[in-house]
């Protein structure tokens, strides 16, 4: 069935500057602006003073963004709070930065533990990393089809006084669910715990204030809501924790303290940095600020999400999550029960029309996911709906109900 779309593969209009490529409707890598791409056309020396200034500027902007109150009309940054935090850039995928943070900050035992709060694949991945590092870990699992319950996290803390660190994912892109981050973090701090947040798919579009929420460690990545390209992640953390982590890492290349210490002394990475990726990210930060920062970026993504969900439901598709639990990052739809529906055919058809989506990541029910972040607007999603109608008709699927 998919072969019937091949002849159309060059007929769509893709993103500006790459019209023959699809829109990436994923949670990252994602569609980027022409200027972000153009920034990578120049070669930069990693030891050049201009490049070192660029790296320092990136770190400063990220710390400020992580301690801002975007919805407040008062000055957004608490300067005293900002001074408590450091930003460490780490080459590689976001998971590299997560592992670096877990290796630096999670207790080694014997009577101190990390509680990992799980409602999707990325909480499970944190447990796997900690087990591989032979760090004491407790997994507190929730259903992947809903948010974490703060009361149950609190009960776990009260039951086991050896828990020192709590790891929580803000937006769990397994389903797109948004966990009640502020509520959970402030409760954990009230119990005297170190709070470690995976904000990989939320930072830059959803409100987050490390000092206000009580977050000690936050990790995100270049190729998410700030709309850069893949190649590095970053760990924003309290300086005191970073200083105390000296000699604790399990790894040479993922040693956050050594990475930070080298940058403090020389403004350079210890090993070859992803120069082009960093320059592109610097441009992405400019565009993020020009758009209006976190609130404006989040509003655009929410409009994308609303357009997608409203029209998919009109077609008969069912979302996995209730609206109150889902965010504007990625949407999970249950696969149609119709015997003619086949995900690979559906995927290839959309790809030929200029849209790349994600398969589902659920363990219980067949599904697929459509991301609403990146350099996209609601018109892209209106065109997507037209393509989906055409493909369902070609497949002979008259009802996409699960």
Q: Are 366 and 346 in contact (CB under 8 A)?
A: no
Spell out the residues 6+ positions from residue 321 whose beta carbon is closer than 8 angstroms to its own: 145, 146, 175, 176, 177, 331, 332
CATH number of 37-291: 3.40.640.10
Distance CA 358, CA 28 (A): 10
DSSP character at residue 148? P
Provide the pLDDT confidence category of residue 14 given band limits of 50, 70 and 90: confident
**pLDDT, tens digit, for every residue of 180-195?**
999 999 999 999 999 9
pLDDT exceeds 60 at position 2 = no
Q: How many CB atoms neighbour CB 335 within 10 A?
A: 20
Domains of the chain by residue range: 2-27+294-395, 37-291
CATH of 2-27+294-395, one of 1.10.1740.10, 3.40.50.720, 3.90.1150.10, 3.90.420.10: 3.90.1150.10
Torsion sign, CA atoms 225, 226, 231, 234 = negative
- Calculate mean pLDDT across residues 136-145: 96
- What is the dihedral sign for C-alpha 198, 203, 206, 207? positive
Give 189 or 1, the one with higher predicted confidence. 189
What is the average per-residue pLDDT within 349-357?
96
Share of the chain above pLDDT 70, in %: 93
Summarised one tens digit per residue, pLDDT across range 43-94 is: 999 999 999 999 999 999 999 999 987 665 444 445 556 789 999 999 999 9
Q: Same CATH fold, 37-291 and 2-27+294-395?
A: no
CB-count exposure of residue 253 (10 Å: 0-12, 13-18, 19+): middle
**Contact criterion met (CB below 8 Å) for 211 and 236:** no
Q: Show Cβ contacts of residue 190 under 8 Å, excluding neighbours closer than 6 positions.
A: none
């Amino acid at each position: 069935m998919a072969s019937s779309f091949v002849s159309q593969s060059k007929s769509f209009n893709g993103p500006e500057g790459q019209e023959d490529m699809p829109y990436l409707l994923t949670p990252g890598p994602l569609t980027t602006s022409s200027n972000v791409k153009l920034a990578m056309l120049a070669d930069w020396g990693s030891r050049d003073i201009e490049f070192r200034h660029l790296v320092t500027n990136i770190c400063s902007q990220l710390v400020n963004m992580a301690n801002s109150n975007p919805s407040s009309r008062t000055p957004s940054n608490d300067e005293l709070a900002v001074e408590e935090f450091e930003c460490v850039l780490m080459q590689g995928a976001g998971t590299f930065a997560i592992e670096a943070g877990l290796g630096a900050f999670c207790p080694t035992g014997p009577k101190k533990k990390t509680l990992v709060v799980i409602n999707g694949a990325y909480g499970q991945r944190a447990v796997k990393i900690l087990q591989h590092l032979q760090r004491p870990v407790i997994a507190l699992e929730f259903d992947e089809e809903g948010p974490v319950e703060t009361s149950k996290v609190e009960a776990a803390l009260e039951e086991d006084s050896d828990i020192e660190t709590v790891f929580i994912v803000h937006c769990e892109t397994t389903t797109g669910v948004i966990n009640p981050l502020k509520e959970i973090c402030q409760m954990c701090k009230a119990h005297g715990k170190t709070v470690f947040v995976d904000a990989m798919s939320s930072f830059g579009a959803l409100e987050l204030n490390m000092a206000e929420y009580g977050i000690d460690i936050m990790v995100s990545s270049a190729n998410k809501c700030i709309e850069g390209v893949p190649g590095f992640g970053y760990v924003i953390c309290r300086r005191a924790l970073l200083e105390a982590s000296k000699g604790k890492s399990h790894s040479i290349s993922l040693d956050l303290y050594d990475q930070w210490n080298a940058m403090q002394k020389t403004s350079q990475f210890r090993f070859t940095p992803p120069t082009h990726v960093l320059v592109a990210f610097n441009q992405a930060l400019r565009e993020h600020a020009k758009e209006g920062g976190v609130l404006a970026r989040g509003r655009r993504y929410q409009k994308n999400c609303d357009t997608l969900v409203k029209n998919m439901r009109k077609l008969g598709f069912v979302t996995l999550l209730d609206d109150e639990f889902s965010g504007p990052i990625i949407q999970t739809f249950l696969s149609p029960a119709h015997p003619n529906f086949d995900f690979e055919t559906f995927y290839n058809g959309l790809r030929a029309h200029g849209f790349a989506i994600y398969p589902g990541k659920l363990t219980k029910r067949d599904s697929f996911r459509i991301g609403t972040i990146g350099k996209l607007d609601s018109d892209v999603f209106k065109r997507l709906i037209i393509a989906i109608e055409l493909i369902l008709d070609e497949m002979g699927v008259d009802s996409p109900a699960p």
